[in-house]
Amino acid sequence: MKVVISVDMEGVCGVASWVQVSPPEFGGLVNAGEYQAARERMTREAGAAALGALAGGATGVLVNDSHDTMRNLLPELLPEGVRFTSGNDKPLSMVQGVDEAGVGALLFVGYHARAGSPRGPLAHTWNGFIRNVRVNGVDTGEYGLNALVAGHYGVPVVFACGDDVAMGEIREELGEQVVTVAVKEGLSTYSAIHLHPLEAQRLIREGAERAVRAVQDARPYTAAWPAACELSFDHQARADQCERVPGVRRVDAVTVGWDSSDALHLFGMFRMLARVADVRLNA
C-alpha cells in the first residue's frame, strides 16, 4: 500500500508568523532566513511522517508540497526512496497523488485551523480573504476539502499533525480514526507554545507509524451528494464577481452558494471561485 503525505507550512513546529511562511520573492529578502528555517522544519516533519509510514507497512511514499508556491521542500532532507511533487499548478492541488493506483492512506503534515478559528496560529482557508467554507451546513477548512477529494478516490485520512486547534477541528469533522499530533499550542493568531523540533519529529514519526498500521480500520471521508456548498468572503465585491458564474447563487452580501454532484466538482468550483473572487477592492 502506498501513502500520500500532504505537507503545509503554517502548522509546522516553530511557525507563528506570515513572515516565516512567505517565500522571499513575496516577502522580500528581509525574511529569507526565517523562511529557510521554516522550510527545513517543514521538510523534516514530512520526512518523519514518511519514515513512520514506511515503518507502519507502507510500500511507497509520495510527499506532496502543499504550501503557497508549492516549491518549499528541500528534497535532500527527505528519506531516500521517497518521491515528492512540487509546483502549484497541480490538478488535485494539496492532495495530488491520491488518485494513483495503490494509494491507501492520506497523511496531513503542518496543517492549520480553518479561517476564523480563535487561537489558531495563522488560521485561514486557502487565502487571506475567504472567511468560511460550508458543505451541507458544516463549516470546514482545507483539511475537509482535501479529505473529501481523497474520499472520492476511496482514500481515508489516517494521520494529521499541526497546531492543537487544527487537530481538534480535524478530529471533530473527520472522526477519531485520525491519529493526531499537536506540535504547538495556539495562544493567538500570531503566537504559540512549541515543542522542541526534534520532539515534534519523533512524535510525528510514531503517530504516522501507528496510523498506517491501523489503516484497515479507517474509512474514507465523504458527504451526502449532491451537496449544498457555500463560500463566504471578507468583502461583498468578491461575492459580486462570483455571483456571475453560471450555477452560482447569491446567499447574502458576502456569501455565494452552489450545488455539487461530487467532491471533484466541489473542489473545482471552490478553486475557480477563489480565483474569480481575487479582485481589486479599490477599483
Catalytic residues: 124
Which residues fall within 8 angstroms of residue 149, CB to CB, at 6 or more apart? 92, 95, 98, 263, 264, 267
Give me the numbers of helices (H) and strands (E) for the chain, helices first please: 8, 12
Tell me if residue 248 falls in helix, strand or coil.
Answer: coil
CA 141, CA 23: separation in Å to the nearest integer?
23
Strand order in the sheet with 179-188: 83-85, 60-65, 2-7, 103-111, 157-163, 179-188, 191-194
CA distance 108 to 11: 10
